[in-house]
Structure 1
Amino acid sequence: MKYSNKAVLAAAIAAASTQVMANGLALNEQSASSAGSAYAGRASTAINASTLYGNPAGMSRLDRAEVSGGLAFIDASTDISNAEGTLPGTNDGDMVPFSTVPFAYYVTPLNDKWHAGIGLYAPFGVESDYEDGWQGRYNGLKSMVQVVTIQPTVSYAFNDRISVGFGPTFSRIDGELTSNLPGVAFGSATDPKVEIEGDDETIGFNAGALFSLTETLDWGITYHSKQEYTLEGDTAISGIPAASGGGLINGSYDAKLDITMPESVDTSFSYQATDALALYAGATWTRWSRLEGIDVENSGLNAMFQPQFGTISEELNWEDTWAFAVGGAYQLTPKWVLRAGYARDNSPTSDADRTVRIPVSDRDIYTLGAGWSPTEDLTFDAAYAYIHEEKGSVSQTFSGTPISYSADFENSAHGLALQATYRF
């Protein structure tokens, strides 16, 4: 079987596209205090300085300067079943490394009306690393995306009932990806390799409003703007025998793609049912339909390939999504608060378009949390989450060739978030 130059380059570019596509799955690890109630009241409750992300208008409800930060730990697993493929390989499924996500915030009052703050958090991220020899390695082997955001923010209180907040977001994305090419296509006993790296910075914003509708009912709404990236990096191809045209294909190529990450709207209600019990309900809409497809521009190619491969496109067909959450907090004692919540988070992809790099489905999230304040100045928060996803099917061919892979993926994860807040 002779493998064409077009298939090799398309494989590399398709890998770059899915690398960015994986970044489209939002992280929710920005606050342990909100995580305990499944982020159900994130836009309508100002528990501590982490409101800078959940709703910047909530900063107006903080009486003193405070610093708050922590870590979220994620232990995920994947069960792969009913795997079938043109070429042989393993299907262990242990492809998500143990991950740690940091976050930190500082907020201070300027006067009775104005507050200012700054936050550091990760809004997007993904990491997967299948075993060597995995059967689907031609569609994806390793994927790593990290997005870090710094957000300086101000809030303004019109009165005791209405406040607004705004902050520009300065974000950086770094990505690394690897995949294999089928050695059998080149008459080789080993699989050639594709390695991709890229990065970019962009500016967006986060804005919110918070309203006290009654003495016991609050409503908040937060808008996270779209983020426009132009990723620049290298696509390196190695290991193709010279007899198969490797002299023309092996090497490093400049790659660039423009992509817009979607905006989202988060809204929630907080209801103080009793002096001890608070109830939350919220919803988040994300405009994933922006990712209908990706166009990648290439340079540094051999002149004979530039007309064909200067721009390569890939359809994604993602859809807008809604996530819904309910939760509550119970003030057990003046020093202890207990939290619980449930969320339903829908996937932007389906069986028709799901890929091995992001084999996600609709998910259910169950959370428990607690806060302990040993003094008026210091609070520790912790939250546990169990995430279970519905089984989803993946069926992919390799760059338009007869080489195929299909399987059922069922994902789950355990999460632990820890946070400390100090007021002064």
Structure 2
Amino acid sequence: MDKDLRLDQKTRMYIQNARYLALAAAISISCGANAQLLHNVTIGNPKALALGNAVTADPPGIDSIHFNPAGLAKIKGRQMNIKILAAHMTLDAEFGEPTRPDSDYKQLYYNLVQNNPDICPDANNADECWGTDPIANTSSSSDGPSLMLPFFGMTEIPILAFPSGGIAFEDSARGWTFGTAVYSPQGIGYRREDGDPAASVNPGDPGGYQGVGVGVTRLTYFSPTVAIPVSETLSFGVGINFSYQGLAMDTYIRAPLETTRWLETINEILPDEDALHILRPYDTVGRLSVEMEDFLSVGFNFGILYEPYEWLSFGFLYQSETTSQLSGDYKMENTESFIHTAEGLGTFELLLPLFDGTGFHATPIEEGTVELEYIMPQNIAFGTSVKVLPNLKINFDVRWVEYSVWDELEFEFSDSVDFLNLSSVIYSVSGLKDNADPDAMRIRRAYEDTWSIAIGAEYQLNDNVVLRAGYEPREGAIPSTSADLLFPIGDADLFTAGFGWQMSSTTRIDAAFGVLYSEQNIAACESKNANSCQEGDVVYNPYYSMPFKTETIAYIGALSFDKKF
């Protein structure tokens, strides 16, 4: 009788927990929160890293908050976690010989500028007047890490290292487990050798036209999560994440594709073509730097963990889309050559509105505020964990990420920017998709949704030590038609290994190391984000008709300390 009573009480507790879970899920969804992107490499959990991130059905302790919130239900009592992630990344690129323009294209340019002594004073023919691209047959490499940090902005750091942690405790009366953690779902940043890439003396890195420095950071600082067992084999979990999102970019700008068709149109309209100072094809236009952030970006995670047998488990994870309303400052430093161009367009000012343009500032520096709506795509993961031998467990995950929401990034400026003003006119004349307004810049991304897998193995060496290894072939979200040097990552392979050491009944240490490798080989004119040959496609193709290769290697290490108290 007492046994039946205990069973009935336990059943009622599970039913009650299921009701509470449904309420919690409804509240989290009704918050209108949008989810975080699954950048598992930067979470810094050694178990997940060592298993190639195949942990949806084998969640890693307190970091289940990110990988599968239902996994918190496996934590008994009170537990704390301290961890550190360290990484080193190299980004290398090689540029080939431009395949264009052809002789007719060069002759058109020569005809437009041959009477201008400032453009081709010593040129005897079209080839000499057009000039040679200083980036051709050169190479680029990153010079160290940078990060966009809250309160500090874009910051150069000697090494990418990030300490974090979390805490969880079980409510034994209800069977719930609560937890929160600090972690970084997204963190990437680099810098290249500073300097104008086109300078004749001490030129900067050739990759500087798509990032002298770039930093993207998402830092989750509060992630209240609850996991509720609804039976002895089935648990649910849901959590809300409060995050900081920051983005910084510092880049030189040039526009080889702005010197033909639109110049013909303007020269037909202007009364005196000599009044217009025309940019040389490979002149640097200027240097644009932006820093933006949002201190309150909210999302939620939902997970299920089903363990029908001691040797078999299944997991499910959903992370919602998040939208960050980034805002900050911009600074555009114009070169002397471009300032002369803007000054020359003053005689064209009355007609500029007909071509979606406005008046030019023609000043060395343009400053103001800038805004960007930055979306992190939703993602789903399914996983299974099978103990194939008494001491050997195999994990397998399948993951989908909706990267197609990154179709373009639209920067909205508080005032018109001369380069964008000119670009807007060019797009109007060329009839292409308009990527620029006088006060807005739309950087094309055109990324693709991805399906990827991950596999991990864990071997129980003895009662206290486990050995782990993993492999994750990451399908690239960036097709060759969208490749660039801003984020030079295509298809990638992640190889990992690590171990766990149960020092005592209350103390555990885990460690892992991983290597991520990615390369791309982009033919001339293939990418609409870097080397397009479509005349008038100004924003943004600085490596006109130039083939390039990229190689990205990241070394990641993680160490954690877990303690029950």
TM-score bin, normalised by smaller chain: 0.7 to 0.9
**Correspondence for 1:198 among 286, 289, 292:** 292
Give the distance between the partners of 1:273 and 1:38, measured in 2 at CA.
Answer: 18
Listed one character per residue, the Cα deviations across residues 213-250 of structure 1 (whole Å, up to 9, x for unaligned) are: 33321001111110111111222112433544485352
Q: Which moved more, 1:298-307 or 1:386-395?
A: 298-307
- The residue number in structure 2 matching 1:318 is 447
* Aligned positions of 1:169-188 closer than 5 A: 169-182=241-254
Distance in 1 (CA, whole Å) between partners of 2:452 and 2:226 is 27
> Which string of whole-angstrom CA distances, capped at 9 and with x for unpartnered residues, describes residues 7-42 of structure 1?
xxxxxxxxxxxxxxxx978342321122111111x2
* Structure 1 residues 336 and 327: CA distance shift in structure 2, 3 A: same
Instruction: Check conservation: 1:78, 1:409, Cα contact below 8 A.
Output: yes
Instruction: Please name the residue that 1:345 is paired with.
Output: 474
Counterpart CA distance in 2 for 1:309 and 1:328 is 55
Quick one: structure 1 residues 25 and 130, their matched pair in 2 at CA, closer, same or farther if it must change by over 3 Å? farther
Pair 179,305 (structure 1): closer, same or farther in 2 beyond 3 Å? closer
Deviation larger for 413-422 or 84-93: 84-93
2:33 aligns with none
Matched, 1:233 2:307: no
Distance 1:388 1:139, change over 3 A: closer
1:128 aligns with 2:190: yes
Deviation at 1:103, TM superposition (A): 3.3
CA shift, 1:347, in A, is 1.1
CA contact (8 A) 1:32 1:383 kept: yes
2:255 and 2:541 in contact (8 A); partners too: no
**Equivalent residue letter for 1:74:** A
Matched, 1:295 2:435: no
Match of 1:207 among 284, 302, 327: 302
Distance 1:181-1:402 versus aligned 2 partners, 3 A rule: closer
Paired letter, 1:383: A
State the distance in 1 between where 2:417 and 2:74 align. Answer: 61
- Residue 161 (structure 1) aligned to one of 222, 233, 253: 233
Q: Is 1:88 aligned to residue 134 of structure 2?
A: yes
Cα-Cα RMSD = 2.8
- Going from structure 1 to structure 2, the CA distance change for 1:159 and 1:292 (only over 3 Å counts) comes to same
Secondary structure class of the residue paired with 2:481 = coil
Cα distance in 2 for residues equivalent to 1:78 and 1:401: 19
Comparing 101-110 with 184-193, greater Cα deviation is found at 184-193
SS at match of 1:94: strand
Instruction: Choose from 141, 146, 169 the match for 2:217.
Output: 146
Distance 1:399 1:302, change over 3 A: closer
Alignment match, 2:176: 114
**1:63 pairs with one of 51, 71, 76:** 76
Alignment match, 1:9 = none
If each structure's helix is expressed as a fraction of its own residues, which one has the higher value?
Answer: 2
Please show how residues 46-61 of structure 1 align to structure 2 within 5 Å: 46-61=59-74
Out of 26, 35, 46, the residue aligned to residue 49 of structure 2 is: 35
Name the amino acid aligned to 2:368: Y
CA drift at 1:182? 4.6
For 1:302 and 1:339, locate their aligned partners in 2 and report how far apart those are by CA, in whole Å.
53
Which structure shows the higher strand fraction?
1
Report SS of the residue matched to 1:192. Answer: strand
Cα distance, 1:181 vs. partner? 3.2
TM-score by length of 2: 0.66
Asked if 2 retains the 8 angstrom alpha-carbon contact of 1:84 and 1:407, the reply is: no
Gaps of 5+ in 2: 1-35, 99-131, 146-158, 195-203, 257-277, 344-360, 425-436, 533-537
Which is higher, the Rg of structure 1 or of structure 2?
A: 2
Distance across 1 between alignment mates of 2:67 and 2:380: 11
User: How many Å separate the matches in 1 of 2:96 and 2:193?
Assistant: 15
Q: SS at the partner of 2:231?
A: coil
* SS, match of residue 360 in structure 1: coil
1:104 paired residue among 153, 165, 171 = 165
Give the paired residue count.
Answer: 401
CA offsets 1:118-161 (integer angstroms, 9 cap, x no match): 01110112112122312232232210111101211111111211
Q: 1:270 is paired with a residue of what secondary structure?
A: strand
CA distance in 2, matches of 1:80, 1:423: 47
Q: Secondary structure at the match of 1:33?
A: helix
**Structure 2 vs 1, CA of residues 65 and 26 (structure 1 numbering), >3 Å: closer, same or farther?**
same
State the Cα distance separating 1:368 from its structure 2 match. Answer: 0.9
Do the aligned partners of residues 403 and 107 (structure 1) sit closer, same or farther apart at CA in structure 2, a change above 3 Å counting?
closer
Letter in 2 for 1:91: S
CA–CA separation in structure 2 for the residues paired with 1:60 and 1:402: 52
Q: TM-score, normalised by structure 1?
A: 0.86
CA contact under 8 A between 2:445 and 2:482: conserved in structure 1? yes
- Partner of 1:423 in structure 2? 564
Task: Please tell me whether residue 407 in structure 1 is matched to residue 548 in structure 2.
Answer: yes
**Is the contact made by 1:33 and 1:419 (CA closer than 8 Å) also made in structure 2?**
no
Q: Which amino acid aligns with 2:142?
A: D
- Cα deviations across residues 57-81 of structure 1 (Å, max 9, x unaligned)? 1111112211112112112223323
1:298 offset after TM fit, Å? 2.5
SS in 1 for 2:42: coil
| 1:382-418: CA deviation from partner (whole Å, max 9, x where unpaired) | 1111222233426425536786354100222222111
Amino acid of the residue matched to residue 34 of structure 1? A
Farther off after superposition, 297-306 or 146-155: 297-306
Unaligned segments of structure 1, at least 5 residues: 1-22
Amino acid at match of 2:398: A
User: In 2 relative to 1, CA 419–291 (structure 1 residues): closer, same or farther, beyond 3 Å?
Assistant: same
State percent identity of aligned pairs.
23
Q: Structure 2 vs 1, CA of residues 171 and 356 (structure 1 numbering), >3 Å: closer, same or farther?
A: same
In structure 2, the residue matched to 1:272 is: 387
Kept in 1: contact 2:141–2:207 (CA 8 A): no
291 and 320 in structure 1: CA distance in 2 versus 1, 3 angstrom threshold? same
User: Residue 141 and residue 406 in structure 1: after superposition, are their counterparts in 2 closer, same or farther (change >3 A)?
Assistant: farther
String of CA shifts for 1:145-196, please: whole Å, max 9, x gaps.
Answer: 1110121111111121111111111111122211113599768998732111
1:17 match: none
SS of the residue corresponding to residue 66 of structure 2 reads helix
Contact kept, 8 Å, 2:92 with 2:551, in 1: the verdict is yes
Report the 3-state secondary structure (helix = DSSP H, G, I; strand = E; otherwise coil) of the residue aligned with 1:408.
strand
The range that moved more, 71-80 or 146-155, is: 71-80
Contact 1:186 1:240 in 2 (8 A): no
Closer/same/farther in 2, CA of residues 302 and 382 from structure 1, 3 Å limit: closer
